[in-house]
Amino acid sequence: MGPIRRIVQQLDIHPEALRSWVKRAEVDVGRAPAPAAALSAVGGLVGLLWDHRLDVASA
């Protein structure tokens, strides 16, 4: 039995759940790039904050 199958059985989870946890952990520690959707969301938030800062500064 492979290590992934053994871990999945021990945790009683679906293999896809484990895969997504590992993928997220790799992003968190910088071993993998963040998904494009996450980068887009962060970029949108930065844009909103920047626009708000400019509005406050001009008031």
Domain ranges for the chain: 3-58
Per-residue pLDDT in tens (0 to 9) along the chain, 59 residues:
788 889 889 989 999 999 888 888 888 888 887 776 666 666 666 776 776 665 555 55
∠ CA 15-35-29 to the nearest 5 degrees?
75
pTM value is 0.52
Tokens of 5: 């199958």
Q: What is the pLDDT of residue 58?
A: 57
Q: What is the pLDDT of residue 40?
A: 65
Element at 35 (helix H, strand E): none
Q: What is the pLDDT of residue 15?
A: 92
Tokens of 13: 């989870």
Q: What is the pLDDT of residue 10?
A: 92
